[in-house]
Structure 1
Amino acid sequence: MPRIPHPLDWLLQARGILFPWLPVCLGTGIALWFAAPREPGLAEAGVAGALLLAALAGRVFGGVRWHPVWIGAGMVAAGFLLATGRGALVAAPVLDWRYYGPVEGRVVEVDRSAKDRIRLTLDQVALDIRGPPPGRVRISLMSDQPWLAPVPGMRVATTAHLAPPQGPAEPGGFDFRRLAWFGGLGATGYTRTPVLRLAPAEGAAAVWLAAQRQRLAQAVMARIPGDAGGYAAAVMTGDRSGIGAAANQAMRDSNLYHLVSISGMHMGMLAAFVFGLVRYGLALVPRLALRLPAKKIGAGVALVAAAAYLALAGRDVATERAFIMVAVMLVAVLFDRRALSLRTVAIAALIVLALRPESLVNPGFQMSFAATVALVAAFGALRGLPRGGLPRWLVPALTLVFSSVVAGTATAPYAAAHFGRVADYGLVANLLAVPAMGVLVMPGAVIWALTAPLGLDAPALWAIEAGSRWILYVAAQVAAAEGAVSGAVRPSGAVLPVLTLGGLWLVLWRGPVRLAGLAGIAAALWLWWGAERPALLVAADGGQVGVHAGAARALARPGAAFVAEAWLEADGDMAGADAAGRRAGVRREGGQAVLTLAGAEVVHLRGKAAAGALPDACARAALVVIAAPAPAPPPGCIVIDTGYLKRHGALALSPAPGGLRLDAAEPLAGARYWTGFDPWRRGARPPPLRPDLPPGAAWAEGGATILAWPPAAAPVRVAETDPGSVRGGR
């Protein structure tokens, strides 16, 4: 009698290729934690713990066919528990009101804002308030203060405006509060007054290292003037405060900004140079080459050099991730394993996610591992192919081109989804700039570290400066070319997970069935192609309103750059806030801005006379947005004032059956740690996950908040709509 195949035989046969799926399962559990609309508490943690124990029992006592299933389920549960623990572990006080007064603290980081202003991040904070102060605050200096020369470890005092970390600029948008929560940042703000130095830099080893890092950066910038010195300092120490705003923007527009932020490429170049220097240096001495394992010695020295680079450059998330990836590959060499394989990449991903589960939602994590997995898989597919008579000197050039194409293709969707732009000439820029990074800048940095104590560092500094200036020159020329940057509409939340799973299936599986991953990639791109944007957006403070007028968004007023530029970036619109504020589709009459939405007028009121103008605005418009508290509106007029916005955050309105769908940022953000909800606090009640209707709006039944449009005195019933995602129309 023929044997009846078991449904899990295919999984059992694939056991040899399943290890790289472990970080995928771990990441799935972390993603489920981040996707939860309300902060998981004891019940959810108990379910995940029970699943983990069941998976362990199944692995020990279950049949061999079920082992991969139990291991995968256990990794999902472990990821959920890791994220739960990490979210609670990093908890620190967060300022929950606007504060103006004295601020004192110890400098732990000095950098520059997007507006090219010096920023100080302080810990050991003291404020003139009752209760615990924030764990950390970040203050922008609105004026140059050359006498200050801030360095980490210095204790300073000033008078500053502080506010809680800002929420999303629109419903479903990037929530800075989440990033601030995991960084311990409890308030941000600015100061226009001088910053006083209370005590010189001193403290723990981490602070001492940070101070040494800044001194080294200043020494590099003193020897290499201009943006080239700032770039060199950024590459060597992680201090990007010396790069001007124009150079920063050119690096972004040319897709070269990954050369500024210390990443796996920097660590890899440094480790490869040290590894080659030691290994081939030993090979020059025959007695040593015959008696010593030069390859392993080179890997060990390169590992020490990478660790020193990590300590010098600062243990931020990107640098730590880069070190882990390189360290895993060097350890593989020490144990006679292949340094570049999907298994080593999987080990690095497991370590990174175990240490910092929040890295999963970080664009840097997604892009760096996408590039690494794609490169390892691509070069693995080429292994063993004949060279076809190519000259030896041509192989490095073709390898560079191939690597740039593969890495650029793998990272482009993530860059477009997170940053709303595509560098059309990024491949050309990388082909021109990356060789200078690998041949001049990184080797020069290593040689400079060895020769500087001897006073013989001039040649190394020349190499660093030449490479830095060439990279900045390429960035400026590429960024200035016509059509260098294109916009990309922000996709829905399902696009990147579907795209990632499709790509992983294509790369990690074996046999013809792997081609099913192409279907996942195609589905993600189709969803992205059909992405729609809200017809009307309202800022969280009521100070800005934007409506789609034809093919582009018109703003109620020029300016309000942060919120407006976030909207335009998500639209894939390359215009600036000032240009969008002068577009057709908005009429300005006195202190009012009049916009048209689905055949009815919307009036935006702001300024001291806003409240007095409300009756006249309601007489002509269906919806009034007022940047002030407002009384109850008359029938037939919907009013959104600062009181409503304070509860609900930024708003998005989009055409829907029966009227307009209303989405609000705060309900979509959910009841999470970073939105102010603590499930472990006694008596804590999460906020509702659906916004209330604004005053004057007709109500509607269903799963979504629908405004009758144009407003009517009687309520309107509409079909239930899925409230899970922000939808809209152009």
Structure 2
Amino acid sequence: MGLLAWLAGHLQAQRGMLLPWVPVCYGIGIAIYFAQPVEPSREFLWALAGAGLICAAIAQILRGSATAILLTGATFICAGVPMAGWRAHDVAAPVLGWRYYGPVEGRVVAIDRSASDAVRLTLDRLRMGKIPTARTPERVRISLHGDAAGSITPMPGQRIMTTAHVSPPGGPVEPGGFDFQRHSWFLKLGGVGYTRVPIVQAGPPDISGWRMRVFTMRMAVSHFVRDILPGDIGGFAAAVTSGDRSGMGQAALEDLRASNLAHLLAISGLHMGLLTGFVFAVLRFGLVLVPGVALHWPVRAIAAAGALVAGAGYLALSGGNVSTERAFIMAAVALGAVMLNRRAISLRSVAIAAMIVLSLRPEAMLGPGFQMSFAATAGLVAVFNALRDAPWRLPRWVQPVSAVVISSAVAGLATAPFSAAHFNAVSHYGLFANVLSVPVMGALVVPAAVLAACLAPIGLAAPALWVMGWGLEWILFVAQTTANFPGARSFVVGPSAWVLPCLTLGLVVIILWQGRLRWIGVGPVAAALMLWSVQERPAVLISDTGGLVGVMTAEGRALSRARGSGFVATNWLENDGDGGDQAAAHARWAAEWPAEEGSRAARAALAGVPLWHVTGKKAAAAAPDCTAGILVSNQPVPRQSPDCALFDPDRLKSTGAVALYLVPGGQLVVRTARDVAGERLWSQWPDAAPRHAAVRALQYVRISPTKRP
């Protein structure tokens, strides 16, 4: 009873700060749904929803007690699971089950750039050869290469036709890696591919529907801005005003990432805050200048309403991604509080924004945009609330500079672990770059953008855009200079699945809990960082097509090929914390295991187990006898000895990418992408009778030189 009384006392002490815990519990429920090894049944989801209602009813009966607080948390956990399940079923759409080559006809609904700097089109209302309508994907995404790149200028709603290679969305590039199949499922993206064939227009543009009309307006604004401002400056300006990043070159993007200024490119809290703040200040100051209005009208409320309208327009113009949605919701809550004469910025407003975003898009919680956005916002609100209540004050002339430095430092520290976990890189001069850039964004770029929007209807936007361009040119200069500093960026190993949840739990407790017990959160944070520091990387990685093999050596991961499977190679090296490229990684292979004369196979060895990698039909036909070894091929190979561990396309199609771990005793342990990803709605595993899902996620298959897995 003493422990229960102690717990009840501490829970009661949290009254007044319990609302921020609601999205935490809701997010736990969403995480439980996505962590399942098999897709939960509809009956299970309904049962959890019912359990949540029962908890809510009992909590209402016991209102005011510590038990009611716990039951309310259980209610939102139970609600998070079926909400995520409902969303996953609601976005269900056909997915290609094979590699397709043939005619593709569809309507352009999105334009962006791929990692290889190629223009990329997302198409809907598709026709794909003889594929039945019921099996045709709702959307596909195609990159334009070769003759296709300059054959046509794609426009929103344009109906185009080409001949393309289209494949199902790929699974993780390694077990536990980013699951592109899941990401594509929630985008209703049923296929991805490329074309080198010129594109032709197949019909008149169709911009029916409000989404297409907004997309058309966004691209019109982007083209207008880029016609006035040249090169990367115009691309930057288009990204800030319309959310269209297709005009930014890869070199400029890389400089922004290396200097920790990439957040200025995405329309997020900073841009929305600067825009609504600027509009609010201008409207309020303008209304105050009119004596009758200032004395008799609610000037603050009117200015807040005008800023809210401006923010809504900016949200629509930006395309409405997760970061912009979160920023608008935060701004709307803050401006609503101003209209109601309440505190504008608090952790409660952050909680409300999180609940709205998670209810609309539960899957957003797994992405870096949501995690970094809310980490930065919660950190800033918590720190500035603490500074506001501090007994000391800085001189007024120092406060603007200190606010920029503190906000940049807090946002950088809050987002650093999430950025490092998702992008495997840490910028060491990010604070320096942000201090030099953020004031320019607030004092020059955003006001000039607002002025350009006001002057555009009368044809006088160009001078304001030139001013905006000067500010963006400075930011790009800072980014390039910072990125070129020695040691500007270092690379870190990708964390295991438990690191980010453990880290997040600790940070949430530190920020939200009231009282000295908040420092208990230091324990999970320290545990997460310790787990991350001893992260073990696989001894061998095999791509899901058999086109690439990576073996860990003392010098880093050695890759079997210098070219091909570039996306896979880049991700493997980044997850290793390796800043090198594929060619350098292949040089390690060549130095460690020189090619045998006359052999078509790349040979390596690990713990006494020989490994061969063959690519192409001729090499597969002449594959060596891999008795008591491992053979990887991207083509079917002749029947091998039962003692050969064979990873060919037929097997890899069922397993996905494969990781081999070296364990004491000289044995290798196999872990596949299927083991980790499980059997979900978005999974495309071929066989109908997989191993039992309850044990598959933890099961390891051992390879020895005399036993086939």
Q: TM-score range by the shorter chain?
A: over 0.9
The DSSP-based 3-state class of the residue aligned with 1:469 is: helix
Matched with 1:168 is 172
Q: 1:145 to 1:497 in 2, by over 3 A?
A: closer
Letter in 1 for 2:295: L
Q: In structure 2, how many angstroms separate the alpha carbons of the residues matched to 1:320 and 1:520?
A: 30
Match of 2:310 among 291, 305, 316: 305
1:216-260 CA distances to partner (integer Å, 9 max, x unpaired)?
A: 111100100111001000100011111111111111111111111
Matched with 1:663 is 671
Q: Does 1:381 align with 2:381?
A: no
Q: Does 1:77 align with 2:78?
A: yes
Q: 1:508 to 1:690 in 2, by over 3 A?
A: closer
1:642-692 CA distances to partner (integer Å, 9 max, x unpaired)?
A: 2111111110000124511100112321111110489xxxx9866654999
Contact conserved, 2:49 with 2:82, CA < 8 A, in 1?
Answer: yes
Q: Does 1:12 align with 2:7?
A: no
Matched with 1:628 is 635
Contact conserved, 1:345 with 1:373, CA < 8 A, in 2?
Answer: yes
Q: Does 1:319 align with 2:324?
A: yes
Q: Does 1:607 align with 2:612?
A: no
How many correspondences in the alignment?
697
Q: In structure 2, how many angstroms separate the alpha carbons of the residues matched to 1:607 and 1:359?
A: 40
1:538-582 CA distances to partner (integer Å, 9 max, x unpaired)?
A: 011111100111141010111221111110011110001111111
- With 230-239 and 4-13 compared, the bigger mean Cα shift is at 4-13
Matched with 1:134 is 137
- With 182-191 and 55-64 compared, the bigger mean Cα shift is at 55-64
Matched with 2:483 is 479
Match of 2:706 among 685, 699, 712: 712
Contact conserved, 1:603 with 1:617, CA < 8 A, in 2?
Answer: no
Match of 1:675 among 683, 694, 700: 683
Q: In structure 2, how many angstroms separate the alpha carbons of the residues matched to 1:415 and 1:501?
A: 17
The DSSP-based 3-state class of the residue aligned with 1:412 is: helix
Matched with 1:86 is 87
Matched with 1:287 is 292
Matched with 1:25 is 25
The DSSP-based 3-state class of the residue aligned with 2:671 is: strand
- Note the C-alpha offset of 1:511: 1.2
Matched with 2:413 is 409
Contact conserved, 2:671 with 2:701, CA < 8 A, in 1?
Answer: no
Q: 1:310 to 1:3 in 2, by over 3 A?
A: closer
Q: Does 1:348 align with 2:353?
A: yes
Q: 1:88 to 1:687 in 2, by over 3 A?
A: farther
- Note the C-alpha offset of 1:387: 5.2
- Note the C-alpha offset of 1:623: 1.6
- Note the C-alpha offset of 1:435: 1.3
Matched with 2:545 is 541
Within 5 Å, give how 1:87-126 maps onto structure 2: 87-126=88-127
Q: In structure 1, how many angstroms separate the alpha carbons of the residues matched to 2:4 and 2:568?
A: 62
Letter in 2 for 1:133: T
Q: 1:632 to 1:25 in 2, by over 3 A?
A: same
1:21-49 CA distances to partner (integer Å, 9 max, x unpaired)?
A: 00000000000000001011123213312
- Note the C-alpha offset of 1:284: 2.5
Within 5 Å, give how 1:186-197 maps onto structure 2: 186-197=190-201
Q: Does 1:262 align with 2:267?
A: yes
Q: In structure 2, how many angstroms separate the alpha carbons of the residues matched to 1:31 and 1:191?
A: 37
1:464-513 CA distances to partner (integer Å, 9 max, x unpaired)?
A: 11011111111111112221111111111111111111001001011111
Match of 2:603 among 590, 594, 604: 594
- With 2-11 and 100-109 compared, the bigger mean Cα shift is at 2-11
Contact conserved, 2:507 with 2:522, CA < 8 A, in 1?
Answer: yes
Q: In structure 1, how many angstroms separate the alpha carbons of the residues matched to 2:692 and 2:191?
A: 25
Q: In structure 2, how many angstroms separate the alpha carbons of the residues matched to 1:245 and 1:566?
A: 17
The DSSP-based 3-state class of the residue aligned with 1:16 is: coil
Q: In structure 1, how many angstroms separate the alpha carbons of the residues matched to 2:692 and 2:251?
A: 44
Matched with 1:148 is 152
Letter in 2 for 1:87: A
Contact conserved, 2:550 with 2:558, CA < 8 A, in 1?
Answer: yes
TM-score calculated relative to the size of structure 1: 0.92
1:611-657 CA distances to partner (integer Å, 9 max, x unpaired)?
A: 3332x3426x7222122213432254322222111111110000124
Matched with 1:231 is 236
Q: Does 1:208 align with 2:213?
A: yes
Contact conserved, 1:171 with 1:665, CA < 8 A, in 2?
Answer: yes
Q: 1:635 to 1:119 in 2, by over 3 A?
A: closer
Letter in 2 for 1:340: I
CA RMSD across the alignment:
2.3
Q: 1:196 to 1:708 in 2, by over 3 A?
A: closer
Letter in 1 for 2:614: L
- Note the C-alpha offset of 1:64: 3.2
Letter in 1 for 2:113: R
Q: In structure 1, how many angstroms separate the alpha carbons of the residues matched to 2:113 and 2:226?
A: 15
Matched with 1:277 is 282
Contact conserved, 2:621 with 2:637, CA < 8 A, in 1?
Answer: no
Contact conserved, 2:625 with 2:640, CA < 8 A, in 1?
Answer: no
1:118-170 CA distances to partner (integer Å, 9 max, x unpaired)?
A: 11101111111134310101111103644622121111111111000111100
Matched with 1:727 is none
- Note the C-alpha offset of 1:321: 2.3
1:187-215 CA distances to partner (integer Å, 9 max, x unpaired)?
A: 11111111111213432222122112111
Match of 2:506 among 498, 502, 508: 502
Letter in 1 for 2:48: A
Q: 1:547 to 1:493 in 2, by over 3 A?
A: same
Q: In structure 2, how many angstroms separate the alpha carbons of the residues matched to 1:68 and 1:248?
A: 46
- With 572-581 and 286-295 compared, the bigger mean Cα shift is at 286-295
- With 551-560 and 527-536 compared, the bigger mean Cα shift is at 551-560
Q: In structure 1, how many angstroms separate the alpha carbons of the residues matched to 2:351 and 2:7?
A: 27
Structure 2: which 5+ residue stretches go unaligned? none
Matched with 1:362 is 367
Structure 1: which 5+ residue stretches go unaligned? 693-701, 717-730
The DSSP-based 3-state class of the residue aligned with 1:38 is: coil
Q: In structure 2, how many angstroms separate the alpha carbons of the residues matched to 1:358 and 1:661?
A: 31
Letter in 1 for 2:584: A
Q: In structure 2, how many angstroms separate the alpha carbons of the residues matched to 1:126 and 1:341?
A: 50
Letter in 2 for 1:36: Q
